[in-house]
Amino acid sequence: MDLAALNKVATAMTQPGKGLLAADESSGTIKKRFDAIGVESTEENRRDYREFLFRTEPAMKDRISGVILFDETIRQKAADGTPLVKVIEAAGSIPGIKVDKGAKPLAFCPGETITEGLDGLRDRLIEYRELGAKFCKWRAVIDIGAGIPSHDAINANAHALARYAALCQEQQLVPIVEPEVLMDGDHTIDRCEGVTMWTLKTVFMELYYAKVQLEGMVLKPNMVLPGKKCATQVSDEEIAETTVRVLKDCVPASVPGIAFLSGGQDDVEATARLDAMNRIGGFPWHLSFSYGRALQHAPQVAWSGKADNVAAAQAAFSHRAEMNGLATLGEWTADIEKKAA
């Protein structure tokens, strides 16, 4: 393992001013997104949609450090025959790949899941590396509810994340470690804080046991916030302060960067809260974004499957990428958001 090379990639993925585009939606998820805008989810439509995102200037060059792909997409070619991986690289961005097989019910733990996909992973990583991937992603899902999460769910998912991360580094691929505490439910921000802290401490313990080198990974956590159904919502500043406090308590300084998931927040919320954290400052890692819906919802609506709308959709994508890029620097404001819209 060349740790210096892994660190170089991980640092580039979370460099100030840039972040990751999560374009790794499964076939089922992208179908739901397309159904919402009246577009049939064919392979050609999925290809055309992702291709125009990857060819968007100046967003890809200036604000997107890397792109997380789905298995189908890393194998696809653009309309002109160019592999989409090469389109991403030509834009100055780093291609990566989602490698987990999804969250499945965890035995004897009602309402909880375990992410599968470790079987055969080494061989798949070798293939993805040959296809051009420089990093990978694995998502674990932790839900908050009555009597959950359980010790079993957190430990099982943390152990799987660590095994995945070790296999990635063995194959000279940077692992994105994503333990997502869901924002569904009616839990308070204090409850989310406790569960997120428990989850992150367990994850880093398992990473240590698996001999994962923290300098060669990226953490993709949730922000600490109240559940969507919680009667007591809080300010962006409180979310930022609580999240930074948890990260300082749980994440070693040797991790190069942290790229937040948006997790169901709307576009502007995800941007504003990332900006609020970077305004606090004083932490050893770069705080960036790894957004799917928060970057793609606006361009999807603008596009709606029509070729005549591609320019408008690219403009919408550029806008969201620019706003989030500013947030990684602590330079976003609501006024800039309104003026640039």
Question: What confidence score (pLDDT) does residue 338 get?
Answer: 86
Options 18, 98, 137, 220, the catalytic residue:
220
Question: What confidence score (pLDDT) does residue 170 get?
Answer: 98
Domain holding 283: CATH number? 3.20.20.70
In terms of C-beta density within 10 A (0-12 exposed, 13-18 middle, 19 or more buried), how is residue 100 classed? Answer: buried
Question: What confidence score (pLDDT) does residue 341 get?
Answer: 67
The C-alpha atoms of residue 134 and residue 5 are separated, in whole angstroms, by: 10
Question: What confidence score (pLDDT) does residue 220 get?
Answer: 98
Cα 34–Cα 36–Cα 42 angle in degrees, nearest 5: 20
220 is catalytic: yes
Question: What confidence score (pLDDT) does residue 290 get?
Answer: 98
| pLDDT values of the chain reduced to their tens digit, one per residue, 341 residues | 999 999 999 999 999 999 999 999 998 999 999 999 999 999 999 999 999 999 999 999 999 999 999 999 999 999 999 999 999 999 999 999 999 999 999 999 999 999 999 999 999 999 999 999 999 999 999 999 999 999 999 999 999 999 999 999 999 999 999 999 999 999 999 999 999 999 999 999 999 999 999 999 999 999 999 999 999 999 999 999 999 999 999 999 999 999 999 998 999 999 999 999 999 999 999 999 999 999 999 999 999 999 999 999 999 999 999 999 999 999 999 999 988 76
Q: Are 55 and 313 in contact (CB under 8 A)?
A: no
178 is catalytic: yes
Question: What confidence score (pLDDT) does residue 99 get?
Answer: 98
Question: ω before 149 within 30° of 0 (cis)?
Answer: yes
Q: Are 142 and 101 in contact (CB under 8 A)?
A: no
Model-level pTM?
0.97
Options 25, 51, 112, 178, the catalytic residue:
178
Task: Give the range of the structural domain holding residue 128, as residue numbers without chain letter.
Answer: 3-340
In terms of C-beta density within 10 A (0-12 exposed, 13-18 middle, 19 or more buried), how is residue 169 classed? Answer: buried
The C-alpha atoms of residue 324 and residue 143 are separated, in whole angstroms, by: 27
Q: Are strands 113-115 and 286-291 parallel, antiparallel or unpaired?
A: unpaired
| Residue indicated by tokens 């890397």 | 66
Q: Are 193 and 144 in contact (CB under 8 A)?
A: no
| Residue indicated by tokens 């152990």 | 159
DSSP helix/strand/coil, 213:
coil
Instruction: Give the end-to-end CA distance of the chain in Å, rounded to a whole number.
Output: 45
Cα 243–Cα 247–Cα 250 angle in degrees, nearest 5: 140
Question: What confidence score (pLDDT) does residue 339 get?
Answer: 81
Quick one: which of 257, 313, 255, 317 has its CA closest to 291?
Answer: 317
What is the SS3 assignment for 255-290? CCEEEECCCCCCHHHHHHHHHHHHHHCCCCCEEEEE
The total domain count for the chain is 1
